[in-house]
Amino acid sequence: MLDIRPLTKDLEDAARENINEDPERREKDVAYIKDWLSKQPHLRARTDDQFLITFLRGCKFSLERTKEKLDAYYTYRTAMPEFFKNRDPFLPELQDIFNKGIQLSLGTDAEGHHVWLMMMHLIDTSKHNVDDILKAVFMVFEIIFLECDHAAIFGQKVLADCHNITLAHMAMWTPTVTQKSVSVWQNGYPCRIAGIEYINTPGFFGTLINLVKTVLKEKIRKRLYVHQDVESLKERGLLMVLPEEFGGENQSVEMMRISIKKKVESYRDYFLEDEKYGVDESRRPGKLKSVEDQLGVAGSFRQLRVD
């Protein structure tokens, strides 16, 4: 029997309809992926049931897609240590970012999507390193995908509050940083991106939007929206998840900040243990293939083989 969180009846029905989840087949699918992982000489991967069922859900139970996604997930972690190594949440540089509350988890909207909020103006451009910011962002994102069944079944929405951002904030997101971070997010995690909503955007923000669009998949580009203020967000049914400071019905920003900081700190052992997982490229089967072809970043690694 699988060691996974039980789904409510509503979630079970939604999973069957939206992502092809068959309760009668789940155990067999997880066993198949475990067996495949045991035969990959280059992969050092987690194999607990909850972790693997999340990947299967994110890939709509396509076994081939799940294998590709697991390989990409660990390949990114090895190729980009600046984002995925030294993830002790009590490191001073990470504590400072979590104390700021740059990223908050807002819960689920009326359509079942998990929604999270980025408040970019809280980044201290004179103090915060962009790699540390993205490291912290991916830590929170990882916890959401590990814990939230709604995120796996319905997908996630991102709100980015651009109130009071400056040209100095914009300068942090160089083409390379943008390409790497967006590529990790959309290709390296088993998540379905239901929407990206920018709010309170200044006139000069179009430059960054255009840059982001160049690295987004076409279907995600169609789910990107830019709002001048919060009012149009309410029209999109997001009032229930917006913090009270944004005119919403949710908790205050401060309460959410405290909550997510405690949550990340509670995952310290997980993040420390995670250091041992990744890929050994010298043992990857297949021919060499450029990373641009697979991951969209500089370098090379051996071609994926998923059979």
pLDDT at position 210 is: 79
For residues 50 and 5, the answer to whether their CB atoms sit within 8 Å is yes
Separation CA 138–CA 132 (nearest Å): 10
Give the CA distances from residue 42 to residues 30, 99, 155, 271, in Å, rounded to whole numbers and listed in that order. 20, 38, 30, 21
Taking only the tens place, the pLDDT of each residue in 214-242 is 878 888 888 888 877 777 777 777 888 99
pLDDT of 91 over the 60 cut: yes
Give 216's Cβ-side CA count (13 Å radius): 18
pLDDT at position 292 is: 55
pLDDT of 83 over the 90 cut: yes
What is the CA 69 to chain-centroid distance, rounded?
13
Separation CA 269–CA 137 (nearest Å): 18
Domains in the chain: ranges and CATH: 9-79+277-302 (no CATH), 89-268 (3.40.525.10)
Q: What is the mean pLDDT of residues 196-210?
A: 79
Angle (deg, nearest 10), helices 49-58 and 63-79: 110
Q: How confident is the model at residue 36 (pLDDT cuts 50, 70, 90)?
A: very high
The two tokens of residue 231 are 């009012």
Amino acid at 248: G
Taking only the tens place, the pLDDT of each residue in 128-184 is 999 999 999 999 999 998 999 999 999 999 999 988 888 888 888 888 888 898 889
Q: Specify the pairing of strand 156-161 against strand 114-119.
A: parallel
Q: How confident is the model at residue 302 (pLDDT cuts 50, 70, 90)?
A: very low
* Apex 230 CA angle, 177 and 196, nearest 5: 35
Averaged pLDDT score across all residues of the chain: 88
Distance between first and last Cα of the chain = 26
% of the chain surpassing 90 pLDDT: 62
pLDDT at position 174 is: 85
DSSP state, residue 80: -
For residues 72 and 43, the answer to whether their CB atoms sit within 8 Å is no
For residues 112 and 14, the answer to whether their CB atoms sit within 8 Å is yes
pLDDT at position 296 is: 52
